[in-house]
Amino acid sequence: MLKQQITQALKDIIPGYEGGPKISKLASYVDSMYHLSLRKHAVLPNNSEIGRYHLCTYVIAEKYQSLFDLPAPDITRIPIQPQVAAKLLDDFRDFINQLSAASTPNSSPKKPLRTLPMLAGAPSTPTKTKAKQTSSPLKRLRQAADEYESDENDEKNGKNTNNNDATNTTNATGATSATGEGIQPFSPLRSSIKSPFVTRNDELQETNSTSTTSPSKIMHDNQSEFGSPSKRQKQSSLESPAKRKYRYDFKTVLITDFITFCNTFYVPAPFTVRMLSTFYFHKHKFVKKTDWSLACGIVYTAYTRINHQLLANKIGAKAEFMTLLLQYQKGGLLKSSLQSWCTLVEEWIKDESWVQDIEKQYVYVNETAEEDQQRREYTARVGRGWNLMERLGSMIHGEFLYQSEHQNEYYQRWTDNTSQLLIKGREQLGQEL
């Protein structure tokens, strides 16, 4: 499913384009260009971040217009100032040109592969299918450039393929008649696959016994077909998982690393999930730095609010916390830079919803109880329903009622008469008993 931003950018930049069978491939190119631009330019100038997808879409549509049969892209639909957009488009075109130059070597036209003879009785070696690996945006754009150039070369050399097939068939029949019985040439599929059970010396001995060409020429053909020895060694190291060495990336924080880091400081799980979303929202700001600066700042913001009473009452508790924070982070940060990043990140995310929920639950507990007590006292003094009367416009309620002197005299006379009646009733009750 395509991203909504990419779909909207395609509709804006390519007016009237209804898509097609290659729409997903075109969207993947735009997405790869977007991630590559984040690496090159983490923040675009002059508030141009809103048009990053449009810039990437314009550059991809301009580069691969003939490949996808696209109409001319419209530069006026980019939601950025024209001068700024033109400058950014030049930078983005440089990315594509660098990729094209890096993926296309300056070499002579490719010659048809030299077929080597093989004994008919030799067993065929099994072929291995390589698993598709996830590549970076840079590699995907290079692959796209290679596919685009290969398509152009196929269109130009389409007429020569029939002649080459005819010559290859005649050469194959000639090779079988010249070499004798039991000798067959390599098929095009098998010539491009290197057997893991046959060494280079065995191949050279086999070709020397079945061919009359010089050893130096065979070595040159084999090197051009299978690559240089250093390249073969590099490919074998990539293909064998047993010899592959993994190194920890000190700049990247994985999801498991972030959750483990939060659990180390006993951050509640519901807040950890919301902190993780904030971490990935601000992660693009640390492309050229380490992600551990952002992770430490987020954990610092949560811990200082959850344990604010401990940090305020115990002497040296905050210094001990910073020491533990420096100890458990894996980005190689210094203590001075860690403190500055924690303060800066806390200033960024202090208005997040989960930060306010932590403050309501852990920081403002006493203040909330006092406010509830004052509300109850006010209700008991004024009475229920007076808050609604105030909303309706009444400015006089039980808290602001005053009595006159006449009413005070009446109240005093009534209390005296009531007390005298009570005394007389008590005396009469005592005489009867």
Domains of the chain by residue range: 1-99, 255-363, 369-425
pLDDT at position 387 is 66
pLDDT at position 365 is 66
Q: Would you tell me how many other CB atoms lie within 10 Å of the CB of residue 221?
A: 16
Q: What is the mean pLDDT of residues 53-68?
A: 89
Kindly list the distances between the CA atom of residue 135 and the CA atoms of 141, 153, 228, 243, 396, in Å, as whole numbers in the listed order. Answer: 10, 25, 24, 20, 74
pTM of the predicted model as reported, rounded to 2 decimal places: 0.33
Which helix or strand (DSSP H or E) is residue 157 part of?
A: none
Q: Report whether 90 contacts 127 (CB < 8 A).
A: no
Q: Which of 64, 78, 91, 241 is nearest to 146 (CA)?
A: 64
pLDDT at position 367 is 56
pLDDT at position 164 is 52
pLDDT at position 174 is 44
Q: How far apart are CA 162 and CA 140, in angstroms?
A: 32
Q: Would you call 312 helix, strand, or coil by DSSP?
A: helix
**What is the phi/psi pair of residue 185, to 5°?**
-75, 165
Distance, CA of 220 to chain centre? 46
Q: What is the mean pLDDT of residues 405-428?
A: 86
Residue 275 has pLDDT above 70, yes or no: yes
Q: What is the mean pLDDT of residues 190-219?
A: 48
For the chain, the residue count is 433
State the pLDDT confidence band at 136, using cuts at 50, 70 and 90: low
Residue 187 has pLDDT above 80, yes or no: no
Q: How far apart are CA 274 and CA 269, in angstroms?
A: 9
pLDDT at position 262 is 92
Q: Which residues contact 76 (CB under 8 A, 6 or more apart)?
A: 82
Kindly list the distances between the CA atom of residue 256 and the CA atoms of 260, 262, 276, 402, in Å, as whole numbers in the listed order. Answer: 6, 10, 10, 67
Q: How far apart are CA 300 and CA 302, in angstroms?
A: 6
Q: Phi-psi bin for 211: left (phi > 0), alpha (psi -120 to 50), beta?
A: beta
Q: Which fold has domain 1-99?
A: Cyclin A; domain 1 (1.10.472)
User: In which residue are the tokens 């240089």 written?
Assistant: 228
Residue with the larger pLDDT of the pair 141 and 1? 141
Q: How far apart are CA 239 and CA 430, in angstroms?
A: 114
Least confident of 47-61, 112-126, 280-294, 358-372: 112-126
Q: What is the mean pLDDT of residues 253-267?
A: 91
Residue 304 has pLDDT above 90, yes or no: yes
Least confident of 12-21, 152-161, 284-293, 399-408: 152-161
Residue with the larger pLDDT of the pair 401 and 251? 251
Q: What is the mean pLDDT of residues 335-348?
A: 90
Average pLDDT, the chain: 73
Q: How far apart are CA 182 and CA 176, in angstroms?
A: 8
State the pLDDT confidence band at 320, using cuts at 50, 70 and 90: very high
- Encode 58-74: b = buried (16+ Cβ within 10 Å), e = exposed: bbbbbbbeebbebeebe
pLDDT at position 296 is 94
**What is the phi/psi pair of residue 162, to 5°?**
-65, -40
Q: How far apart are CA 166 and CA 174, in angstroms?
A: 12
- Encode 1-20: b = buried (16+ Cβ within 10 Å), e = exposed: ebeebbbebbebbbeebeee
